[in-house]
Amino acid sequence: MIDEAKSPEPSRRKFLNWLLGTSVGGLLLATGFPVSRYLIPPEAAESAATTVRLPFGPEEVPPNTAKIFKFGSKAGILVRTPAGELRAFEATCTHLNCTVQYREDIGHIWCACHNGHFDLNGINISGPPPRPLEQFVVNELADQIVVSKGT
């Protein structure tokens, strides 16, 4: 109070203090915001290229159906066999890399592009695919499905 009274330009000094205070606050905010957002774990919880936790639970895949999931940048297919077992395969057809689908009527994994058929072990059984689909390991942990590449 005494200082300000002595000062020739009290309003100028007030403004300066306000400017410094606000901009320091702004700077702290501008660095604190990205850093705190950075530290919050992102939704896709794993960076590993060998394991993925599926965004749906086991109850969402009834017997004799299948679901496509994202495995890294590629597609995978999770099939529940009519007997109730969960199996996962790479969903890219070994012929020309189309995404395969499950045919409930014939119980095959099927590629619509050139009518390639795979059985529920991923073996190419008909049509142009030259190789079986790569099979993944499926683990059910509580109500989550974890798919990983076999070693």
Partner 1 sequence: MRRRFSAAVILACIAMTVGQADSALAQEQQDTCLTCHRALPAGRLADPATLYAEDVHAAEGFRCIACHGGDATVVGPAAMDPDKGYIGTPERQQIPALCGRCHSNAEFMKRFNPALRVDQVAEYETSAHGQALRENDDPNVATCTDCHQSHSIKAASDPRSTVHPLNVAEMCGDCHADSTRMEPYRLPTNQLDDYQTSVHWQMITDGGDLSAPTCNDCHGNHGAAPPGVSWVGNVCGQCHAMMADLFNESRHSRVFALLGSPGCATCHNNHDVHPANDDMLGLGEGSVCARCHTDEDPGGQTAVAFRSAIDSLRMTTEEAHALLLRAENAGMEVSQALFELNGAEDALIKVRATVHSFDVDAVTTETEAGLEIAVEAQSRGREALADLRFRRLGLVASVVIIVALIIGLVMKIREIEHGA
Partner 2 sequence: MDRRWLGDLWTWLDARLGLSYVQKIAAKKDVPVHRHTIWYYLGGMTLFLFMVQVATGVLLLFYYRPSAEEAYESIQFLMAEVEFGWLIRSIHAWAANLMILTVFIHLFSVLLLKAYRPPREITWISGIALLGLSITFGFTGYLLPWNELAYFATRVGTEIIGVVPIVGTFMLSLLRGGPDVSGATLTRFYAIHVALLPAAAGVFLAVHLFLVQKHGMSTPDSVNAGEQGARAMPFFPNFLLRDLIGWLTALAILASLAALFPAELGVKADPFQPAPVGIKPEWYFMFMFQSLKYLPAHILFMEGEAVGVFAFGIAGVLLLLVPFLDRPSIRGQRERLFIWLGIAAIAYIIVLTILGYTANPTQ
Nearest of 25, 135, 22 to residue 87 by alpha carbon: 135
> How far is C-alpha 132 from the geometric centre of its chain's CA atoms?
25
Binder among 5, 6, 8, 40 for partner 2 (CB under 8 A): 40
Toward partner 2, which CB reaches closer, 130 or 150?
A: 150
49 phi, psi to nearest 5 deg: -85, -5
> CB atoms < 10 A from the CB of 56, how many?
13
Stretch that binds partner 2, among 43-51, 52-60, 83-91, 93-101 (CB under 8 A): 43-51
Can you tell me which residue has the tokens 């190419």? 124
Count of residues touching partner 1 (by CB under 8 A):
26
Reduce the DSSP state of residue 24 to 3 states and report it: helix
Stretch that binds partner 1, among 57-65, 77-85, 127-135, 138-146 (CB under 8 A): 127-135
CA atoms of 111 and 115, how far apart (whole Å): 5
Is residue 130 part of the contact set for partner 2 (CB under 8 A)?
Answer: no
Stretch that binds partner 2, among 35-43, 83-91, 103-111, 112-120 (CB under 8 A): 35-43
Count of residues touching partner 2 (by CB under 8 A):
14
Beta carbon of residue 110, minimum distance to partner 2 (angstroms, whole number): 31
Toward partner 2, which CB reaches closer, 49 or 112?
A: 49
Nearest of 147, 28, 22, 19 to residue 88 by alpha carbon: 147
Is residue 14 part of the contact set for partner 1 (CB under 8 A)?
Answer: no
